[in-house]
Structure 1
Amino acid sequence: MAKAKVLSKDEVKRVMRMADEGCNGLRDKTALSLSIAAGMRIGEICALTIGDVRGLDGKAVSIIHLTKNQTKGNRSRRVFVSEALGKLLNAYLATISDLGDDRAFIRSNRTGGHFSNVTLSTRFKAIYLAAGIATSSHAGRRTFATRMNAAGIGMATIQQAMGHANIATTAGYCWVSDDQLANAVNVI
């Protein structure tokens, strides 16, 4: 199976524009941003509840605490939220009518409940295709890891941000560009 594409900044903008155009634009844009800007897995996004994302002050939290039941590998982990992602989470929270802590954060219009992993993955792929990008729903997560690597973030830090048990798994997510290679040899 081929690896998911690493999205360029322009491609991310195009994907977000396409997500925003749909009737559930803010929801889709928020879900995609959790993948691209926070490195969350599809299953983790599907499992999020209002209580995971909203703090006691009613605003988005700066750290999302995922339980072992919400993650792959049955290990709890923390997801750190950037300021930009926090603003988007707050905007989306403001549109949700039923804010019970146990309610799905990214919810289906049809059921009002959690998306299945397959349904959200299919939604992501459709948005990517509408933006002219043929890739899997995993592209956001791979983009997150690669961008952190390109910014000079250490592999151990990226491993923690991704929630990987093995650093070799993390390394497989990080694509290295020709510019990075050229810069690396010029450091010596």
Structure 2
Amino acid sequence: MFTHRGGGFQLTKKRRTLPDGRKAEYWACDALEARFRDLYRDAGIKTSSHAGRRSFGTALIKSGLSLEQVAILLGHQDCEVIAAYIEVDKKTLRAMYKHALR
């Protein structure tokens, strides 16, 4: 279990601008993100917490989850927001295309 100074992590409401210019509010936990950065550093992994989220999102898409399901698991309400976290390889895209043409 992850704790912050012996207790739970505090969420902070933040705002961001979506690619289409709309403003969106979201909850973030900067202390938890910092903890993951420390864990990556201590393990000798040169990455960021967002790279970990991208890998997680990509793995979920490859396992067949929908964008809506991935958005929920990544903690986002808007599927547009998760686009930056997901990398879909060409093999997966081909399989999705073939499936859609059935």
Which stretches of structure 1, 4 residues or more, deviate above 3 A after TM superposition? 45-49, 116-119
Q: CA RMSD in A?
A: 3.4
Matches within 5 A, 1:11-160: 46=4, 49=7, 69-70=10-11, 73-74=26-27, 116=31, 119-127=34-42, 130-131=44-45, 134-160=46-72
Identity of aligned residues (%): 22
Distance 1:159-1:47 versus aligned 2 partners, 3 A rule: farther
Contact 1:47 1:70 in 2 (8 A): no
Which runs of no fewer than 5 residues in structure 2 stay unpaired? 14-25
Aligned residues: 86
Which has the larger share of strand?
2
| Secondary structure of 2:49 counterpart | coil
Larger relative contact order (C-alpha < 8 A, sep ≥ 6)? 1
Distance 1:185-1:122 versus aligned 2 partners, 3 A rule: closer
Distance 1:165-1:155 versus aligned 2 partners, 3 A rule: same
TM-score (norm 1): 0.36
